[in-house]
Chains A and B, each alone.
Chain A
Amino acid sequence: MVVIPGHPICGLVRAFLVYQGYSLKEDDESDDSQEAIDEEEEDPLQQIIVSLSYNDVFHHTYSFQASFSDNQTSIFAHRVCAHAYLEDEDHENSIKVAQAGLELLIRSETSYGRPLVQ
């Protein structure tokens, strides 16, 4: 988060850590008070979903017809989102995101030029 503070994935990591119950206050001492209030008051899962929308994962998750370039997708974001949904026992969305993540993974494998060998 310090290295890439402005990157959309940073917001996702921050939201996930808050969702997991980790306090980020020590890291945010220099931040303004409004951000600290947001951290305490907003629903962490909602923050994750909002962060995901910046990565275009949300769009992909809920619209399987959507096509997007590699720059707009993140396997990591899919993992975090699927894990968060599973923790929240939202199995329907967990299944959708995990499936989308696996599709992304297959595309990544294709970009290597050959499938993984088991």
Chain B
Amino acid sequence: MYTLCPRTFRVQKSFDVILATSLVHFYPPKHHPRALPLLNNVIKLEPNNVQALIGRAYVLQYSKNWLEACKLFHRVVELKGVEDQKYGLEAREEELWCEIKGGNGISAMGQLSDVIKHLDSLEDHQHQQARAWWRLGQCHWDIGGMSEHDSMRPISFLLPTDSDNRKKSFECFITSLKRSPTYAPAFTSTGVYYLEHANPPDLVRASKCFQKAFELDPREGDAARRLAEGFAEDRDWDLVEVIARRTIEGEGGIGGGDSGFAGTSDRRILPKNAWAWKAIGVVELVSLAVTQQSKPFTNALFRLVEITPKQYNPFKLLFVRMKPTSSLGYDLAKLTLAPGATLRL
């Protein structure tokens, strides 16, 4: 192994762990392809390195590999114990979250309640408390959304009704906001409740919730998309553009937030919110300030073609056939904004 200078190896490992951990959390998941080899290398040399295990678990979590992520978080819990406030408790919460997202919501919900009790007893953990309460709310929400075709049907008579679960989830979201009034996902979820499940739907409150969520965190893509769709229906293109641009900035822009990082990956430009690029393209068309060579427009179309080729095949055809002197861009604008057409971003 490191025969010449083992202490230098430890320094390198320390830098690798710091670098990889930061890459995992910096505009996730754009820098994960670069973080993963660093994490794997550290784990290979030091299998019980907690920071590296957590980092790798988060990478798996972002790729929705719930089972493997759950295993790694569980290993951290075994190593550190739930009593460890820095890593153990966080890992336990994430382990249960992976179980919930992996389809074991009902069994994990009780254990998540235990974690919440533990968190609520701690001071200076408002963000974690809010996140845990929001996750409990999401768990109730998902159970409430189970259809009759779900695998839970045989025991459905034992479970609360959909309406009860939605109400419980709403209570959890409100508790989350009481724990931390700056926790953006809880605002988004509360807004969705007001919009889709309150009786009657409260559009004003829902809009306020989405606006607050987006103000607090531009990464709240669902809130941003709902706001942008509302403004697009009102033909308020300036606001659509503001929201779309802020959403793109919130996910790190085209460069993934890197300004001079070495060895960056091509995946850093992979957007999470394709609708925002589409919205900017449409706004550019509507403003009639666009030419066929207009960079934002062509970039937006290019992004659409690259990200979801199947969904936006018509766009691809237009983009490929577009000539610098043609008027296809304006034709596209006319098609998009035809009377009676509904713009879904």
Complex interface residues of chain B between 1 and 16 (CB less than 8 A to chain A): 1-5, 8-9, 11-12, 14-16
How many Å lie between the Cα of A116 and that of B3 in the bound state? 7
Main secondary structure of the interface of A (DSSP, over half): helix
Q: Which of A94-118 contact B (CB under 8 A)?
A: 94-96, 98-99, 101-102, 105, 108-109, 112, 114, 116-118
Contacts known (A89-B25, A96-B260); A117 close to B4, Cβ less than 8 A: yes
Chain B interface: which of A2-10, A11-19, A26-34, A79-87? A79-87
- Interface pair A94/B18, CB less than 8 Å apart: yes
Chain B nearest Cβ from A4, distance in angstroms: 20
A64 near B2: Cβ-Cβ < 8 Å: no
Are B2's CB and A82's CB within 8 A? Answer: no
Chain B 256-275 near chain A by CB (<8 Å), digits 1 or 0: 01011110000000000000
State whether A102 and B15 are in contact (beta carbons under 8 Å apart), knowing that A108-B8, A116-B8 are contacts in the complex.
Answer: yes
How many interface residues does B have (CB within 8 Å)?
24
Size category of the binding interface on chain A: 20 to 34
Q: Mark B189-214, 1 if CB is under 8 A from A, else 0.
A: 00000000000000000000000000
Q: Give the contacting residue for A114; candidates B2, B4, B25; CB below 8 A.
A: B4
* Chain B positions within 8 Å of A75 at CB level: 11
Q: Which residues of A lie under 8 Å from residue B257 when comparing CB positions? A: 92
Cα–Cα, bound, A105→B1 (Å): 18
A102, B12: Cβ atoms under 8 Å? Answer: yes
**Are A116 and B11 in touch, CB under 8 angstroms?**
no
B11 proximity list for chain A (CB < 8 A): 75, 79, 101, 105
A99 CA to B261 CA in the complex, in Å? 8
- Measured in the bound complex, the distance between the Cα atoms of B5 and A94 in whole Å is 25
Residue numbers in B under 8 Å from A98 (CB-CB): 15, 18-19, 22
Does B57 belong to the interface (CB within 8 Å)? no
Give Cα distance in the complex from A2 to B14, angstroms. Answer: 27
CB distance from B332 to the nearest CB of A (A): 37
Closest residue of chain A to B2 (Cβ to Cβ) is A116
Complex Cα distance A101/B14, Å?
A: 10
Which A-chain residue is minimally distant from B12 (CB atoms)? Answer: A105
How close is A74's CB to chain B, nearest CB, in angstroms? 12
B23: interface (CB < 8 Å): yes
A91 and B25 contacting across the interface, CB-CB below 8 Å: yes
B61 on interface, CB distance cutoff 8 Å: no
Quick check: B262 and A99 within 8 Å, CB to CB? yes
Residue pair B3, A91 in contact (C-beta under 8 Å) = no
Q: A83-B18, A99-B262 are in contact. Are A91 and B26 (CB under 8 A)?
A: yes
List B contacts of A108 (CB < 8 A): 8
User: Which residue in chain A gives the minimum CB-CB distance to B6?
Assistant: A116
B4 touches A116 (CB 8 A): yes
CB distance from A66 to the nearest CB of B (A): 13
State whether the Cβ of B21 lies closer than 8 Å to any Cβ in chain A.
yes
Contacts known (A79-B11, A109-B8); A94 close to B2, Cβ less than 8 A: no
Q: Mark B62-104, 1 if CB is under 8 A from A, else 0.
A: 0000000000000000000000000000000000000000000
A residues bordering B, Cβ < 8 Å?
64, 75, 78-79, 82-83, 85-86, 89, 91-92, 94-96, 98-99, 101-102, 105, 108-109, 112, 114, 116-118
